[in-house]
Structure 1
Amino acid sequence: MPPDENEIARAVALLQAGELVALPTETVYGLAADAANPIAVRRIFAAKGRPVDHPLIVHLAGAGCLDRWARDIPSLAWELAEAFWPGPLTLVLKRTPAVPTAVTGGQETVGVRVPGHPLALALLRAYAAAGGGLGGMCGLAAPSANRFGRISPTDAAHVREELGDKVRLILDGGRCQVGIESTIVDLSRDGALPLRLLRPGRITPEQIAAVIGVWPEAPQPPSAETAPRVSGSLEAHYAPATPMRLVPSARLAEVIGILRSTERRCAVLCHSELADATAPHALVSLPVDPQRYARALYAALRELDQTAADLIVVEEIPATPEWAAVADRLRRAACGAGLPADSLNRP
């Protein structure tokens, strides 16, 4: 179905006025504001309860807008943009002086990408055609449209549940097709090789190496000395309010049985078949395919989080490179699960 031009026009007007609009991307739904407007950007942080030093990713209509946001752009960046944009790859580059520090968390780098969802692209192009916000920068800051640290939304209904009237307009683009956040790579070291992988996602190190000829460095704990801070880099993130535990496949039935024997309500996310005798309080089964699993992961966690369970038990996934991005999200979700909202704001 083609984008609703009236809805897009309304969204553009709200964004130009410094308001917040939720929009779908191929990864997750984003909470968008004019990235060049520090007042609008601060509204994102307030609505999400997000720490102000946690940088935002800027979404662009195309690579032609890139030099408004980044300087000293290495040739590798253009190669990766040509290969993967529009799509779920974020490039971290040196920021231009025009980029507000509110977007970058006070850093000298900025994360940018061109989303691969037709509705997001239609909005970004209409926004650019209408002047592109303050300074004609044509960028929208759009972190996930949820309370900070909690499960990212992959459906418009999730955004309504999370933010309610904190967002003026929610553009409904259906269920997100990727389902987890973008891959982030750091090119802020003057194009030095190897690149640094700061967050795994749908775009894999193998795919990146196929374009530039070199595998990126594995993700490392970010610090002022090693790498820029980026979205989704805290140990506790993407988390349900219900405590959550990762369990090996071989012990899944045993753990469910123990919980049932102690009358604790157990919600299970698995990819193996469970015998009827081990039936938990609630169950969601996902396919043993990393891309299909990722697409459904956040909706599944959200569903289980609403079952009044005492514990969410997640069957461990295969320990192979294809599952690295999903493994990253599950590990961080388990770290943050059950924690009070204010504790997720601590680095």
Structure 2
Amino acid sequence: MKTHVWSVDKFVDNLESYPQITQAANFLKNNEVVAFPTETVYGLGGNAESSDAVAKIFAAKGRPSDNPLIIHIASTEQLAAFVSSIPQTAAVLMDNFWPGPLTIVLNKKEGKLSELATAGLSTVAVRMPDHPIALALIKQSGLPIAAPSANQSGKPSPTLARHVFEDLDGQIAGIVDGGPTGVGVESTVIDCTEAIPVILRPGGVTKEQIEAVIGEVAVDPALKNAEAAPKSPGMKYRHYAPNAPLYLVAGSHAFLQKLVNEQRATGAKVGVLTTEEAVRDYDADLVLPCGRRDQLETVAASLYGTLRAFNESRVDVIFSEIFPETGVGQAIMNRLSKAAANQVITEPVEG
């Protein structure tokens, strides 16, 4: 299969009628799969009403079909076709965070969406992306678009069209190249079908921001339970992983350097994931800064690109600093923990 690539300037006026958007939308109408930029990462989109289209998404990603997909819409009017009700908490969240990196789980109306898209669940995860190209593509297609991240399953999510091409060239119909994404980690997923809304996946909207507008929310313990049936993407299986084994290091810079030295003594090529403030603290084969520790939003924006950079250098093992789990740090550590398959090395306490 030839993968078409359309370059689109997100600042162009009347994007819906832009020829490249029209071409990409026509592929979606014909139940082909097209990657496109959102404000979080690149999504791999297909017609959410077509099991044929959704099956092509799973096939391209090599993704297990028991993992539900997020449905992307361009207007709240689209919800009436496939959502049975909108609780008040969900309506408030939509008013405050849509368009934006927040996915809301609602009760599903049967008969409209492909059962493959929702993994046979009675609920559906929906979001309205805050990106002009994504919104124009959805509007032009006239469809709800099912879209996980546009990468091979388990690998770091793509924040550039080049990342999509590296993973999926020849496996999908097209890629809309809209330049780099912004937030860098996927949307927050919150289940609003419960009396107290439950965060199923931390992401671009923080728990603190959500509670500021709707009050108390819970965090699903299934975030750490691999056996639970997932109601949200990213809750099951190893995700976001670079090719080399990744270990999270809870300890001092000196302790992390000791781990590096031990591995290099065996002949291994070692990488270190750190921040701009500490990049000179380490001596390794590859030391990559991932944003600034005092600005965790920059760490989130750089995370997947940094993990992919380790692949390009072909290191044998990677050690990563850990980050405080406040604000967007919760999403950062969720992604790093999954990338590391929860492998954490903790510095011993002396005495």
TM-score strictly above 0.5? yes
Q: Structure 1 residues 262, 228: closer, same or farther in 2, change over 3 A?
A: closer
Deviation at 1:336, TM superposition (A): 8.1
- Given residue 159 of structure 1, which amino acid in structure 2 is its aligned partner? V
Aligned equivalents of 1:120 and 1:322: distance in 2? 23
1:125 aligns with 2:145: no
Single out whichever of 147-156 and 328-337 deviates more from structure 2: 328-337
Deviation at 1:225, TM superposition (A): 11
1:304-333 alpha-carbon deviations (Å, 9 max, x no partner): 122111101111122434411101000000
Aligned equivalents of 1:319 and 1:117: distance in 2? 27
How does the TM-score come out when normalised to structure 2?
0.87
1:202-223 alpha-carbon deviations (Å, 9 max, x no partner): 21111111111x2210131168
Aligned equivalents of 1:166 and 1:226: distance in 2? 30
Aligned equivalents of 1:329 and 1:15: distance in 2? 30
Q: Pick from 99, 102, 108: which aligns with 2:113?
A: 99
Equivalent residue runs for 1:301-316 within 5 Å: 301-316=307-322
- Given residue 141 of structure 1, which amino acid in structure 2 is its aligned partner? A
Equivalent residues of 2:72, 2:146 under 8 A apart: yes
Deviation at 1:224, TM superposition (A): 12
1:90 aligns with 2:91: no
Aligned equivalents of 1:235 and 1:211: distance in 2? 32
Q: Structure 1 residues 115, 321: closer, same or farther in 2, change over 3 A?
A: closer
Structure having the higher helix fraction is 1
Equivalent residues of 2:324, 2:330 under 8 A apart: no
Match of 2:241 in 1: 239
Match of 1:25 in 2: 38
Q: Pick from 330, 333, 336: which aligns with 1:327?
A: 333
Equivalent residues of 1:237, 1:336 under 8 A apart: no
Match of 1:206 in 2: 208
- Given residue 80 of structure 1, which amino acid in structure 2 is its aligned partner? L
Which blocks of at least 5 consecutive residues in structure 2 are unaligned? 1-10, 344-351
Equivalent residues of 1:247, 1:314 under 8 A apart: yes
Equivalent residues of 1:27, 1:178 under 8 A apart: yes
Report the count of equivalent residues.
Answer: 323
Match of 1:218 in 2: 219
Equivalent residue runs for 1:1-347 within 5 Å: 1-2=11-12, 3=15, 5-97=18-110, 98-128=112-142, 138-189=143-194, 192=195, 194-212=196-214, 214-221=215-222, 229-250=231-252, 251-271=255-275, 272-275=277-280, 278-286=282-290, 287-288=292-293, 289-335=295-341
Equivalent residues of 2:273, 2:288 under 8 A apart: yes
Aligned equivalents of 1:306 and 1:175: distance in 2? 19
Identity %: 40
Query: Which structure 1 residue ranges, 4+ long, deviate > 6 Å from structure 2?
Result: 222-227
Q: Structure 1 residues 92, 5: closer, same or farther in 2, change over 3 A?
A: same
Equivalent residues of 2:300, 2:328 under 8 A apart: no
Equivalent residues of 1:50, 1:148 under 8 A apart: yes
Equivalent residues of 1:239, 1:336 under 8 A apart: no
Query: What's the RMSD between the two structures over aligned residues?
Result: 2.0
- Given residue 164 of structure 2, which amino acid in structure 1 is its aligned partner? V
